Amino acid sequence: MFHKEGHKIVFVTLIIVVALFLLTDSFVSITWLSTLLMIVYLVFFILILQFFRNPKRLTHRNAETVVSPVDGKVVVIEEVFEKEFFNEKRLQVSVFMSPINVHVTRHPIGGNVIFSKYHKGKYLVAWHPKASEENERTTVVVENETYGKVLYRQIAGALAKRIVNYAKVDQTVLQGEDSGFIKFGSRVDLFLPLDTKIKVKLNQKVRGGESIIAEK
């Protein structure tokens, strides 16, 4: 199953790969070189398919837990001052996605979207300390009565050139439901209340919509 954001890219890539196969078969007479080129085309196409895959995830919805919004590795767990929305200290948990991870972003909690904003920016590598404030990014805040407010930020990386955000203010969303997509690598930052019980560790691998990041 492929994400809707990849339908056009997959189709165009397929046409290009088929064309390259035909051209290589017609104009490259050296057998080993022709075979090598075709393998390269095929591997490239498989990588595109893998990048836009959208596997089904079983989210055990719980108003007292925060699930990981994306697949990847936990690279930051620290107390920070969040100045875009809260203007106060929060616990930040960041998940880094490599190009081979699933890049669907999912809502970490269910509730009402009370803030959603897109920011133009740079394309620093996703683990750069200033990436959270200077890179292209989207910020979304979801609130429910049990957990409170959770802010999550999609951040573009050096390869990511487009962030898609589906969250709209006043929208009611479900935990684990698709909320966006980051094309070609990056990370997502979560900003949680200080009394949150963090359930993950640094360098732990997590699965979007399934792994529990925190709980009340």
For residues 150 and 211, membership in a common domain is answered with yes
Confidence (pLDDT) at 162: 72
Check if 186 is active-site: yes
- Helical (H) or strand (E) element with 51: helix 31-51
Question: For residue 51, what are its two tokens?
Answer: 């990048």
Exposure b/e, 190-214, CB count within 10 A at least 16 = b: bbbbeebeeebeeebebbbbebbbb
| Domain assignment present for 23 | yes
User: For residues 68 and 59, is the Cβ–Cβ distance under 8 A?
Assistant: no
Write down the pLDDT at residue 185. 61
pLDDT score for 101: 86
Residue 158 pLDDT: 64
Helices (H) and strands (E) in the chain, counts: 3, 14
Residue 72, pLDDT score: 94
Q: Give the domain CATH number at 173.
A: 2.70.70
Q: From first to last of its 216 residues, what are the pLDDT tens digits of the chain?
A: 766 776 787 888 899 999 999 999 889 989 999 999 999 999 988 887 777 777 888 899 999 999 999 999 999 999 999 999 999 999 999 999 887 888 899 999 999 999 999 998 776 665 666 666 778 889 999 999 999 999 999 988 766 557 889 999 999 999 999 999 887 668 899 999 999 999 999 999 999 999 999 998
pLDDT at 161: 59
Number of domains in the chain: 2
Same domain, 46 and 136: no
Assigned domain for 37 exists: yes
Can you give the pLDDT at residue 60?
A: 93
Catalytic residue from among 68, 116, 132, 186: 186
Element (H, E) at 48: helix 31-51
- Has residue 168 been placed in a domain? yes
Rounded distance, CA 96 to CA 70, Å? 9
In a domain, 30, yes or no: yes
Task: Looking at the structure, tell me whether residues 47 and 109 fall in a common domain.
Answer: no
* 57 falls within a domain: no
pTM for this model (two decimals)? 0.82
Domain that residue 27 falls in: 4-51
pLDDT, position 112: 98
